[in-house]
Chains A and B, each alone.
Chain A
């Protein structure tokens, strides 16, 4: 079976690795000169920054991505990060970190609550595993259960860090699916070598299985005949295929076959595409001689104005920075209405970092923002429309078609696994 993969991001390469392993003849076309999309390293003054991700796999060496990599025999070492922590103001009534702070373990998130609320949480932990809450946003659900605003703040920082969303935009079903995954697979990990190690390993698999990857090769059209995808156009060339996998998300994929999708039978699909909302975010990359956090676990910062969390990956892989230096990266969610004032959002983020690391020496290496056509997530978590399209033999993979309950690249891996099951069986 001749297969064309459009886009050499994580989703495209996972698919290409799996299909080439199963004996499909795979050809990948990537528009940029580099592969990996928003999941690879870029060298910046000797630091291994990234094109997107913060070098973290949400469920580390046991998660869906790690499992998928093992199945396709992609050789990556993934090290579990230290446990996450939460930074609280020194006194409960302080609105921020200006008068000092203390850090507690992620698992102690109920500590700031009253005894009564803590007891209630203990009961909910048991009851919600059997009876999952449904039908509202996470924030609404929390507010129907508790008066203490701490839980909303905590939820916002967790959702901001892991999904680049606020808790009022996350379906409660999705978050409980994520909690279940946390029980099952554990917390985050860092691939040794950063994101690019994953991409390199997948490429090695694809090449070993006879697949090909073309860079600087933009697909300008997906060919459709009688409701079936039959190939793509790259430059002046037409490439025929029995199967087309797009790594571009549903909306951008539809643009490549917009003529074919004009038919009335596709109207529902086109309408659905308009409801998809990419999520926006800002990453600030810091360099420091002395560690700012001091361990590899995520530091959640619910009392910062904008920054949701920070990691310091050099505790797992010192080679991600020049000798003796540390790489520390913060992430903040950007609300859709604030995308037009990104500079203000960035300034707020930079101010937060000053409060989170008072008196500490660091250099701001690079500030990276993501929205619209190069977002944190093509489909906000929990709204992914699946891998299939109304065109037969045309599938969508990547962060516009994640699997349920999969945070970021774990969702990408779950989505690819589901698509491959449909295709290969």
Chain B
């Protein structure tokens, strides 16, 4: 998962992450716990999460 500059830090993604792999403070940060499931990206209201192909 890559967080781009669109991120405002609203934290919506983290509440939908089953792995608790997103920390938010002004901006989202993906931690090592991420399994790249990509679910968070659907919930981002500003298209800030890019799923690697």
Binding site for B on A (CB under 8 A): 31-34, 37-38, 42-44, 49, 51-52, 216, 342-343, 345-346, 366-375
> Does the CB pair B8–A366 fall under 8 Å?
no
Instruction: Collect the chain B residues with CB atoms within 8 Å of residue A367's CB.
Output: 9, 11, 24-26
| Residues of chain B from 1 to 38 with CB closer than 8 A to chain A in the complex | 6, 8-12, 14-16, 24-27
By size class, the interface of chain B is 10 to 19
Given contacts A43-B15, A44-B15, A342-B27, contact A33 B10 (CB under 8 A): no
> Does the CB pair B42–A370 fall under 8 Å?
no
A49–B10 Cα gap in the complex (Å)?
Answer: 12
Binding site for A on B (CB under 8 A): 6, 8-12, 14-16, 24-27, 42-43, 45-46
Given contacts A32-B42, A216-B42, A366-B24, contact A373 B6 (CB under 8 A): yes
> Does the CB pair A342–B46 fall under 8 Å?
no
> Does the CB pair A369–B43 fall under 8 Å?
no
Could you say which of B8, B24, B26, B27 contacts A372, with CB atoms under 8 Å apart?
A: B8
Of A42, A345, A372, A375, chain B has the most CB atoms within 10 Å of the CB of A42
Residue of B nearest to A343 (CB): B26
> Does the CB pair A346–B8 fall under 8 Å?
no
Residue of A nearest to B16 (CB): A42
A345–B15 Cα gap in the complex (Å)?
Answer: 22
A369–B10 Cα gap in the complex (Å)?
Answer: 5
> Does the CB pair A33–B8 fall under 8 Å?
no
Instruction: Collect the chain B residues with CB atoms within 8 Å of residue A370's CB.
Output: 8-10
A33–B27 Cα gap in the complex (Å)?
Answer: 21
> Does the CB pair B9–A369 fall under 8 Å?
yes
Residue of B nearest to A369 (CB): B9
> Does the CB pair A342–B9 fall under 8 Å?
yes
> Does the CB pair A374–B10 fall under 8 Å?
yes
A369–B8 Cα gap in the complex (Å)?
Answer: 6
A366–B24 Cα gap in the complex (Å)?
Answer: 7
Residue of A nearest to B13 (CB): A42
> Does the CB pair A368–B11 fall under 8 Å?
yes
Instruction: Collect the chain A residues with CB atoms within 8 Å of residue B43's CB.
Output: 32-34
Q: Beyond the given A43-B15, A371-B8, could you list 16 further A-B residue pairs with CB under 8 A, ordered by the A residue number?
A: A32-B45, A33-B43, A34-B43, A37-B45, A51-B45, A342-B9, A342-B27, A345-B26, A346-B25, A366-B24, A367-B11, A368-B10, A369-B26, A370-B9, A373-B6, A374-B8
Residue of B nearest to A350 (CB): B25
Residue of B nearest to A373 (CB): B46
CB distance from A277 to the nearest CB of B (A): 15
Contacts A/B (CB < 8 Å), 21 sampled = A34-B43, A42-B12, A44-B15, A49-B11, A51-B12, A51-B45, A52-B10, A342-B25, A342-B26, A343-B25, A345-B26, A367-B9, A367-B11, A367-B25, A367-B26, A368-B10, A368-B11, A369-B9, A370-B10, A373-B46, A375-B8
